[in-house]
């Protein structure tokens, strides 16, 4: 499956290890993740050389092409909120996961759209389990279901 992974970049990188665990798992399970670079420590340097307009167009294209969006929302991010809304407006399935005990936006927690799932996790292993459960059985663009 083509999975768009969203996470905080400029809002803070304190959750980088869980970003890496999620992306590594997605890639190891055979998924395509165009935003895999967002989980790396080098992301700020990589993204700093790209014009904001180019980032917007690139990321919107990636969201439009994805089968689903997975967002780690423990650290607030305007960009991630925008990406979630765009994906939902495109009819994409969206998983928002966050560390148990962290406060998340009421615009996310109060959202009742059927394509959105919100799950808290206690550790990296539980986050990975939540991601895999979300993806299990989701239809791809070809109409097949994911069997990973």
Decide if pLDDT at 142 tops 60: no
pLDDT mean across residues, the chain: 89
Residue 144 domain-assigned (yes or no): no
* CATH code assigned at 37: 3.40.50.450
Q: What is the pLDDT of residue 84?
A: 97
Residue pair 73/19 in contact by the 8 Å Cβ criterion: no
**Residue labelled with tokens 């994805």:** 66
Q: How far is CA 79 from CA 40, 84, 139, in A?
A: 17, 9, 26
Domain tally for the chain? 1
pLDDT at 132: 97
pTM to 2 decimals? 0.90
Nearest to 69 by CA among 80, 53, 54, 57: 80
127 domain-assigned: yes
Q: What is the pLDDT of residues 77-119, one digit of tens each?
A: 999 999 999 999 999 999 999 999 999 999 999 999 999 999 9
């Amino acid at each position: 499956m083509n999975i768009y992974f969203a996470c905080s970049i400029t809002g803070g990188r304190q959750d980088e290890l869980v970003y890496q665990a999620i992306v590594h798992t997605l890639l190891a399970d055979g998924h395509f993740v165009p935003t895999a670079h967002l989980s790396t420590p080098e992301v700020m340097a990589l993204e700093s050389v790209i014009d904001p307009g180019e980032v917007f167009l690139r990321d919107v294209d990636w969201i439009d092409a994805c089968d689903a969006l997975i967002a780690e929302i423990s650290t607030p991010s305007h960009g991630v909120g925008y990406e979630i809304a765009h994906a939902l407006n495109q009819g994409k399935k969206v998983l928002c996961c966050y560390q148990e005990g962290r406060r998340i936006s009421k615009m996310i927690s109060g959202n009742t759209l059927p394509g959105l799932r919100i799950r808290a996790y206690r550790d990296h292993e539980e986050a990975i389990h939540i991601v895999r459960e979300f993806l299990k059985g989701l239809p791809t663009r070809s109409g097949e279901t994911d069997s990973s």
